[in-house]
Structure 1
Amino acid sequence: MDIRHFYMEKGQGKPLILLHGNGEDSSYFEKQIEEFAQYYHVYALDTRGHGKTPRGDKPFSIRQFAEDLLGFMEEHGIARAHLLGFSDGGNIAMVFAIRYPERVDRLILNGANLNAKGVKPSIQIPIEIGYKIAKKFAGKSNKAKLNAEMLGLMVNDPDVPIEELGRIHAKTLVIAGKKDMIKEEHTRLIASGIPDGELEIIDGNHFIANRNAAAFNEKVLAFLKSE
């Protein structure tokens, strides 16, 4: 690999890998790590170009991040793990589970989307405008280039055809907030497209793991411990 991930690690037991969202880092899961580490060996990663993990030279895309995750698992001798991804982290986990179903035990997708059409227009339209502006100035400013890459993840990725969800073998929890930036019908579409998928909609917005942590953690742990 051309990068080494920064990550936080705590607990013992089955591996549980946490993947944060766009422009964030592993600290997003500050309200999950301690609690989940009572039952699992938790790894919270900083994605390529986020937090303390370097950008590297490879493409800045959800599919590359999924390959990075495979590299991380191989580097740490993790044959199979539970995956919990939020927002773009959910998209990484989803793509990974499609590509490497044998490496995923249980899958939790929080605020994930198949494509940009799954995001509410009030959120997506400003993102696309910002992306076009940043892309225009990317050749003149490194800051604009980095901004274009970040926004590009929300414009061009993950672009997963609904049919590909059928390749996910893991028992999957799709969870979102009642006022999420992802359209509820889109979240329901993802849950229904995964063969062993189940859906939970709880109080809150896109950031339920942080702002409604008690309810979120309860749902996730109940799912992971279920038969």
Structure 2
Amino acid sequence: MDTLLLLHGALGSAATLVPLQQALQAKFKVYTLDFSGHGGLALPQEPYSMELFSKDILEFLDKHAITQTHIFGYSMGGYAALYFALQHPGRVSSIFTLATKFAWSPEAAEKESKMLNPVKIEEKVPQFAKTLAERHTPQDWKQVMHKTAEMMQHLGEAPALTPENLPQLQAPIRLGVGDRDNMVTLEETNWAYELLPNAELLVLPDTRHPLETVKLARLTFEIEQFISSKTLHASTIQ
């Protein structure tokens, strides 16, 4: 049975991926992890970064004696998966991303980080603030948000995925984006798709950005189909 690692998005946690994990566990040995400072894990003294999250992935794989794995990454998790594959290509069988933002610039980072204002979120969407508090307890969700905003600003100044390094990724990759995603555009997803040497582009109909709004059955089918096709191809050429 193939191994599949699920990676959560910004402000998320492993718990947000449990429904997907349960839907996929009949076909794969499915793992999830909490990135540093998420899901109640201690807030790191260092800033959130792709380097830190890549280290989290490596330590998790080593801890569980996983030599190689398929990876599904939602939003920021997809960005982290691709960055990890650049650092450790031999540990990755394939990558499926969904709703991953690639168009990082100072302007884009400013726009995204402005939305991560704990005071305004408590005022305007108190239920979301409550959800974040529960998700990251005993840590302060406001600190998680501040550190995420700082990471976005850093990505705006120095994106971790660039036209220079994306073509180095040889693993099979499927880039998924929803046709109604108001945070990630088809254009930026296509930009990454055209730079990757072994990629597929998937546009999910009637799909917005929040993971909980994505049709679980459709996403499960797409992940299973993608990994199965790559596994079959690998076994055929061996």
TM-score range, shorter chain: 0.7 to 0.9
* Distance of 2:225 and 2:160 partners within structure 1: 30
* Distance of 1:196 and 1:70 partners within structure 2: 23
* Distance of 1:179 and 1:193 partners within structure 2: 23
Equivalent position to 1:116, from 104, 109, 112: 104
- 1:52-91 map, 5 Å: 52-91=40-79
1:148 matched residue in structure 2: 146
Could you tell me whether the CA contact under 8 Å between 1:176 and 1:201 is conserved in 2?
yes
Task: Answer 1 or 2: higher relative contact order, Cα 8 Å, separation at least 6.
Answer: 2
* Distance of 1:64 and 1:15 partners within structure 2: 23
Equivalent position to 1:129, from 114, 128, 135: 114
2:126 matched residue in structure 1: none
Q: Secondary structure at the match of 2:148?
A: helix
Could you tell me whether the CA contact under 8 Å between 1:209 and 1:216 is conserved in 2?
no
Q: Secondary structure at the match of 1:92?
A: helix
* Distance of 1:143 and 1:219 partners within structure 2: 32
* Distance of 1:145 and 1:35 partners within structure 2: 32
* Distance of 2:154 and 2:114 partners within structure 1: 13
* Distance of 1:64 and 1:80 partners within structure 2: 20
1:10 matched residue in structure 2: none
TM-score by length of 2: 0.77
Equivalent position to 2:89, from 87, 101, 111: 101
Q: Quote how far apart the aligned CAs of 1:156 are.
A: 2.1
TM-score by length of 1: 0.80
Change (3 A) 1:175 1:150: same
Change (3 A) 1:41 1:217: same
Q: Quote how far apart the aligned CAs of 1:85 are.
A: 0.5
Q: Which runs of 5+ in 1 are unaligned?
A: 1-12, 135-141
* Distance of 2:90 and 2:110 partners within structure 1: 37
The structure in which a higher percent of residues are helix is 2
